[in-house]
């Protein structure tokens, strides 16, 4: 497994007044730097060291999100009044509740 498959992100930290490099699979790790490319390089180095340490100690290494298989199904519990409202919206639009929920999630995810 390559550390290249992990999910990296660089964002601005107003508290630190620097860019922060993050890795979704290792939420406790970060790297601060004035330059975004240096923050990315820093978090990649930290992840590489942690993975090497985990491997050397025979510990479990997180699987990259990109390498996981997803079924396309998950359950969400919502209050009955919201379930009713969504069912009514779906009926009025002539679509299934699953299709309506999927469309709503997709539009929320693109914001």
Q: Domains in the chain: how many in total?
A: 2
Please indicate, yes or no, whether residues 15 and 38 belong to a single structural domain of this protein: yes
Q: 22-74: per-residue pLDDT in tens?
A: 999 999 999 999 999 999 999 999 999 999 999 999 999 999 999 999 999 98
pTM of the model: 0.74
What is the Cα–Cα distance from 28 to 46, expressed in whole angstroms?
11
* Backbone torsions φ then ψ of 23, nearest 5 degrees: -135, 120
Q: Within this chain, do residues 26 and 56 fall inside the same structural domain, yes or no?
A: yes
Residue-wise DSSP of 9-51? EEEEETTTTEEEEEETT-TT-EEEESSHHHHHHHHHHHHHHHH
Residues 25 and 62 in one domain: yes
Q: Is the pLDDT of residue 110 over 80?
A: no
Using one digit for the tens of pLDDT, what is the confidence trace for 4-18?
Answer: 999 999 999 999 999
Residues 55 and 81 in one domain: no
Residues 44 and 62 in one domain: yes
The answer to whether residues 22 and 58 belong to one domain is yes
Confidence grade of residue 2 (pLDDT, cut at 50, 70, 90): confident
Question: Residue 99 belongs to what domain range?
Answer: 71-109
């Amino acid at each position: 497994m390559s550390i290249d498959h992990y999910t990296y992100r660089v964002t601005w930290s107003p508290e630190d007044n620097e860019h922060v490099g993050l890795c979704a699979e290792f939420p406790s790790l970060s790297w601060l730097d004035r330059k975004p490319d240096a923050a990315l390089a820093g978090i990649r180095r930290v992840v590489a060291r942690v993975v090497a340490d985990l491997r050397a100690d025979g510990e479990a290494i997180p699987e990259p999100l990109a390498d996981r298989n997803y079924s396309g199904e998950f359950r969400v519990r919502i209050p009955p009044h919201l379930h009713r409202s969504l069912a009514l919206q779906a009926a009025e639009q002539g679509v299934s509740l699953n299709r309506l929920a999927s469309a709503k999630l997709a539009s929320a995810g693109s914001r």
